[in-house]
Structure 1
Amino acid sequence: MEILTSETLGGTWGTILLPIRADESIDWARLDPALDILVAAGLDGLYAHGTAGEFHTLGEDEYDRVNELLARRCERRGVPFQIGASHMSAQTCLARVARARTLRPGAIQVTLPDWLPMSRGEVLRFLARVAAVADPVPLVLYNPPHAKTQVPAELYPVIRREVHTLNLFQPEPRGAHAPRPTLRSTGPQGEVEKGSLIGIKVAGGNAEWYARMRRHAGGIAIFVAGHDLATGRRHGAAGSYSNIAALSPAGAMAWQRMMAERPDAALDVERRIHAFFTEHIQPLQRGGYANSALDKFLAHVGDWADIGTRVRWPYASVDPALAERLRPLARERLPELFPQA
């Protein structure tokens, strides 16, 4: 698979959600058709082992099997893919990176080790070693609000300087991933400098937050929450590892096309998504359900594959009957996200 850069990384990416049996095992027979639907949905790419993929619950044999399924399907269909190698242990993360690299993903996603907060020097030391093991596959850093170590905007230029490779070949940007001049940096002879860290997944923020990120995170593709993508794109965000793709893969892409063709209409869809989430998703979040449970709940509302709402112990699963009751309401309030209907 073609290696991604900060300029070719963008758009709406969907994740693998794992159907879990009552005995806590992965239902591989149900995963196969769900993966077929994702591959055929027209998404900008697929990834495995984000929060919604419950990477924190997987044994290493399960981790490798999911990776092999993803790589085989995506290679066959020409769909870009990324592999998450995150783990609370830096040592386990490094071993996952080494194995993920052999499958030639477009990028490898990592989180920072999460038991103890890290100093800035430790963040750089961690990313430098991970990048060396992943080379030539670049990295995407997932730094959500609940991460114990929050990377400040002003650290990103240091990361770019200290953790990078210098490539003289610049692939031409294609399709929806048009070049973003404000996110491009060059070396002393004018060569294009490709950071080993090409992207970050963060929550996003207001206009001031985006302005600060534009000042400090040049050369890095910024990915924000799926339900905020219309606003994010207006401020220079590259894309999303999308919870809206969890709700409706085809609908997430229809909405992304609307952002380019009818941006004001796309913002209206975003407003209605926020209203739906405020009324029906945030109460579940306040009730203690983890993000992985909420993403599976959204997929069950969307009803595009037989995934179910069960997440692995010790986390609580949302009652599937609630999702089934919300299905007609979601289609009524957000018809743009359900083009098949």
Structure 2
Amino acid sequence: MEKLTATNLRGNWATLLLPIAADDSIDFGLLGQEIDKLISFGVDGIYSNGTAGEFHNQTEAEFDQISELLAAKCRLAGMRFQIGCSHPSPIISLERIKRAVHLKPDAFQVILPDWVTAKEEEQLSFLNRIEANAKGIPLVLYNPPHAKLELQPKDFHVFKENVPTLIGIKVLSKDETWVKEMKEFASHLSVFVPGHFLAKGVKSGIADGAYSNVACINPVAAQKMWHLMQTDLEEALKIENTILEFFAECISPYQKMGYSNPALDKFLAAVGGWCELPTRLRWPYKWIPEADVLAARKKAEQLMPRFLLNEI
């Protein structure tokens, strides 16, 4: 399979959502079923240990088991995969890279050190050591708005000469000024945005794909949406607007109540109903009650029927 680069890292990538049992253990049987389904749906790729994968709340033995399971299944199926080695501790993130490098993912995802905010020199020191231990496997930097340090477009230009294996970033798409600056300073990177803003990002000329919360709802429809964006962007934008209506009516209220992004993403998957994933998060974090799923699903059927029913 062709090596991932900033040019060919594109499309609809689905996240692994961590199935948490009532005793706070990880249900690895259900996790395996989830991977199998995502592979069968033909998404562009699968990644582990993003925010919804609760990378911040695993033991290292669990991290290894998750990574090995994903790698084994994806390699057998010829599915692209990325392993998230992020951790608030830079040392733990580095150790995760060292232990996972033999699995040969298409890329590693990392975040910048997130307890003490890293300055520019420290960011480069961190990424350079990560790069050296990744043994040529490309890097993707996760930098969504809930990161303690949200990088600005000009910051990505600093990485161009200093971190040559950094091929991609995950960010939140913003206004026209931001888009203009990203085109100027981050043109050497593949830029991924949230799934519910992907069509708008494609229209602006900045988005190459999504590590997708929309794929949490319906991976098949999210993949069809990505293809539609290449052939009929205006139609894709219309469907995306219905998704945004659903988010405004059914997801934003939970966000305002203080539910975390992992809680929201797991709730989206439960609403979609494509896999028997519980909404539960691991202690000490609160999750949206399963009892709320049915009402949200009914509202989704009203607001975005084409997406929910794969009629794209």
Q: Is the 8 A contact 1:250 1:339 kept in 2?
A: no
Summarize deviations over 1:70-124 as a string: whole Å, max 9, x none.
1111111111000000001100000001122211111100001111111111111
What is aligned with 1:35?
35
What is aligned with 2:81?
81
2:31 & 2:161 partners in 1: Cα distance? 41
- 1:2 to partner: Cα distance: 4.4
Q: Is the 8 A contact 1:250 1:337 kept in 2?
A: no
The residue correspondences of 1:1-341 to structure 2 (distance < 5 A) are 2-164=2-164, 196-236=165-205, 237-339=207-309
- TM-score, structure 1 length as denominator? 0.88
Q: RMSD value over aligned CA atoms?
A: 1.2
- 1:223 to partner: Cα distance: 0.4
More helix, by proportion: 2
2:291 & 2:93 partners in 1: Cα distance? 36
Is the deviation greater in 326-335 or in 121-130? 326-335
Q: Is the 8 A contact 1:12 1:253 kept in 2?
A: yes
Summarize deviations over 1:177-219 as a string: whole Å, max 9, x none.
xxxxxxxxxxxxxxxxxxx110000011122211110100121
What is aligned with 1:191?
none
1:156 & 1:202 partners in 2: Cα distance? 11
Counterpart AA for 1:163: V
Structure 2 residues without counterparts, runs of 5 or longer: none
Q: Is the 8 A contact 2:14 2:211 kept in 1?
A: yes
Where 1:116 maps in the other structure, the secondary structure is coil
Where 1:328 maps in the other structure, the secondary structure is helix
Counterpart AA for 1:206: D
Where 1:46 maps in the other structure, the secondary structure is strand
Is the deviation greater in 319-328 or in 119-128? 319-328
Structure 1 residues without counterparts, runs of 5 or longer: 165-195
Q: Is the 8 A contact 1:17 1:296 kept in 2?
A: yes
- 1:331 to partner: Cα distance: 2.3
2:70 & 2:309 partners in 1: Cα distance? 26
Runs (4+) of structure 1 exceeding 4 A deviation are: none
Counterpart AA for 1:138: P
Counterpart AA for 2:39: V
1:266 & 1:111 partners in 2: Cα distance? 31
Summarize deviations over 1:258-312 as a string: whole Å, max 9, x none.
2122211111111111111111101101101110010000000000001110001
1:326 & 1:149 partners in 2: Cα distance? 33
Q: Is the 8 A contact 2:245 2:303 kept in 1?
A: no
1:134 & 1:92 partners in 2: Cα distance? 14
- TM-score, structure 2 length as denominator? 0.96
Is the deviation greater in 259-268 or in 245-254? 259-268
Q: Is the 8 A contact 1:224 1:241 kept in 2?
A: yes
